[in-house]
Chains A and B, each alone.
Chain A
Amino acid sequence: MTVGTASTATCKFTDIIADPLIRERWDKVRRYFFLRESTYDMTNRCNIRCEGCYYFTGEKQFALENRDEDAWRQLMAAEKERGITFAVLAGAEPSLVPRLCRICSENIPLGAIATNGLKAIPRETDYRIHISVWGSDSTSKEIRKADCMLARQMDNYRDDPRAAFVYTFTPFNIDEARQITDTLAEGGQQITFNMFSAPVGYTGPLRHTAESLARTREVMAGLLADYPQTVLFSWYNIVAHTSDRGLHDLFSCTYPRMNASTAIGLGRSFRQYRTDLKWDRDAACCVPDTDCADCRHYAAGSAVVTARMYRHAINVESFAAWLDYVDTYLAVWVRGYTKGANLLTYPVAPPGSNQPPTPL
């Protein structure tokens, strides 16, 4: 498979977008530049307990739970006022507080919910729903201590256009991804890929190694090629998320936790609210308590890679890679957005990296 090395020569942006395919995709994605996200922990409870769970790490798990619906309504109104246009409802398990989820979606119409999928979230909350899958049912049983996860998840979200299954690759479930993808394809569902990213201080076996990253890369590439209708991913997603270097090292994370500037962008607007409706700038990112050096998380990439448009606008190939990434991001996160065919069918190196990505 060909590997493109990002050229250092800089083309004019007008020449890059003169290509009709690029132009069409650029016009499609730029309509969503108004999205400004913040993240909300909805409850400190979960109906299962997974090994390596990032929620039950660090301080945030101890925040008191605010279940006062008026307080949530006020928070959401204030968030909207502050310019937030996209709400990500996360930790621990939002499906346990469906009324609070509903309040969020009534105030901020665009958003996504991260759930383990074991309890259906009512349809009135019209957010994208990310259902986490950590491997085959036997692996899930071992790591998440839950039985028949995939069947239960699929039952809960059958024919539900809100659903996107998120398969988290660990070093131990790489080869199980094909079976899961196949099952989801048969069920008419969509899947995207996440990478286990170690929480701060985690020393367990789920942390990726160079070898597991390389194997993941191969499997992702195969699935992307074989299930183009089911897999919401691009070749550049593979490059960005399976590199030996983490996302921060590759792209400079723009979340407040790693970005001191409050002038513009995520550093200015992003907040990560805990269940007591407080937030702490020093800890604010989409996956707080994740070790930045090991961060390859899909939610992190969705902000960090996406924000780096300027550095990708150096030639048609790099910009096409970035557009594929953003098109994937929007398809995964925004209800009603339909992913186009990937512009690139091969990986290119991130701008400024001296080495091409490892061949697939």
Chain B
Amino acid sequence: MPNSVKFTINDRQLEAPAGTLVIEAAKRNGIEIPSFCYYEGLALQAACRMCLVEIEKAPKLMVACTTPVAEGMVVRTESEPVRQARKYMLEFLLSNHPLDCPVCDKGGECELQDMAFRYGVGESRFTEQKIHVDEKQWSPVVFYDMPRCILCFRCVRICNEGMGVNALGVINRGAVSEIAPNHGDHLECDECGMCIDICPVGALTSGTYRYKTRPWEMEHTGTICTHCSNGCKTTLGVRNDQIIRGNNRDRSGINGEFLCVKGRYGFDFQDHPDRLQSPLVRLDGKLEPVSWSKALEVVVQKFQEVKGRSGTVGVIGSNHTTNEENYYLQKFARQVLATNNIDHHRTGDVVTLVDAVSGSPAALATTRDLYEKKAILVIGADLALEQPFLSFQIRANYRHHQAHVYVVTAKPVREDNYAAAFLRAEPGAELSAVESLRDKLKGEPELVILYGDAMKGGAVRKLAAFGASLGIPVQYVPLVDYSNSRGAADMGLTPELLPGYKPLGLTGMTVAEMLAAEDLDLLWVVGANPLKNAKLQAKKAFVVVQEMFLTETAQIADVVLPAASAYEKNGTVTNVCGEVQRLQKAAQTMGAKPDLEIIGLIAKEMGVAREMGPWVPDKVFDEIRRTVRGYDIPVEAIMTGGAAQTMPVNGRIPIEVRVDSIRSAHDNLFTSGTLGRYSKMLNSVLEKRLNRE
């Protein structure tokens, strides 16, 4: 080991790199040193004194969380003085702490409770009256109960350092110290809940979860957030088919413990009272509930009729459905309905980039790269609001590795605060601003470039040429909006490309063209709402919609089939960086079915089940791995809850990208297309903000 030092802990000979903290060295060797304020990845605090250990030659007990190991150091973590010290520390911490574990939200998973159980004395010499301060609500999301707070400052540090929001502080002194929000009596912040989940005790609680259940009454399912394209892993706590909590306290997956407000609290669309639970068929001009078999019969009859007379068909897929569903849908459209009129709402230009960097290896960055690479260039995107996890990764990279961050955006963004350089450029003028950074960027050892939807077509080509001319390894992240926007493009939900970006040589209609086509006979919309701000021109078109809610599109449909949400099905999705991850069914809604099953049932009724193949997620994924370029990824990684990046398609894609159909919705932290409209939590945050303005 280079620069390593030898020392002993509890008489065990150990070795670790110089500079390693005693607490870390112990942990890596399976020795637990209890701690509260120490938190890996955050600034050192040494506030709680729980981690006291005995170090030979030191005149008194030392804090293991800020003391680095040294050559010949002799550490004892279980000696009598250490045990005593822990007892005293816990006695102090409990001197004002209410012993309301039976009714505390944290009971059962509280670090203080565990520590008191393991290291405490079980009785206290303090007989003074405890200080009481009433609980406060700081926002729809965040509640603070001062008496329970043990002043570890984890919340303050995760907000300042991890989120870059600086919304929390600690005020007053001594026993009356407390955590305070940035606006006197309320918070104005990202509402991410990072502070709540990092709190070791029940001092911070969330408006979503508080006092709804005991933690041990829930089942936990690790799945992928269904909102933005970043693809954070979220662990859903479910009781009686109701999702009660989202968090990622096991720090698994690409995002560790990060989740934004949408991933942590925006799951409540799932049991919104407006969820569709029965198929609807238009009878006498009105949508009426019917049985699944009746609805499928109507759909199949229509599909067959239109197919029989070679009518014009349009198929619109989704940015939220799984890869399997997208693949199966395009296969159905192309093989059964014999049409290339299939598209989805495109939110970023991936195709031009993949073509422009063809031949260069590893040109697409992973979310890990954003944390590790030496330099990052952000073009035309407000990452903190629109790509929260990517923004978190870049901030962590800056804090831990001093990465150089460059920013070219139209408006000020959070990344400016620590950028090596930031420039303002109107949409369309980004490239010349980027050009002015050439000398600085050339001096970097490596670079990752992220770009938003202002860059498309020719601009992306020029950007790739610029990257190539720097003479350093350059990777890219073409930003897209939603949980499976990348997967929709990869799986060929486009009129000009087959799955794996295989050029067709001909092209079908785009979404806009389908809506404008007066002769359209059949429109099949799966998990999208194209009519939110548009009109369907074809008056006589028969419209079939698979949806969770009666959206603008579903309202004009002839048949509406109730679809399961992403939290109610299995399958895979691909995030903005091309990382494939697995959805796991956490709950279910009576009456709704996963889109894959719905399409499968239609296939069965039409007698094409054999050629379409089984509508089982794992089976379809097998087919994807075998047939879709770039998807031959190691299954083990994703089966165990991890991520595997799709191999970039390394070859030219000789098509003209339809740049006019690329448009990001620029959803922010509190909006998320249709899902956001049906999330009470997200809406309550928005309302609160409006009321204050």
Do the two chains belong together in a single complex? no
Q: Which A residues contact B (CB, under 8 angstroms)?
A: none
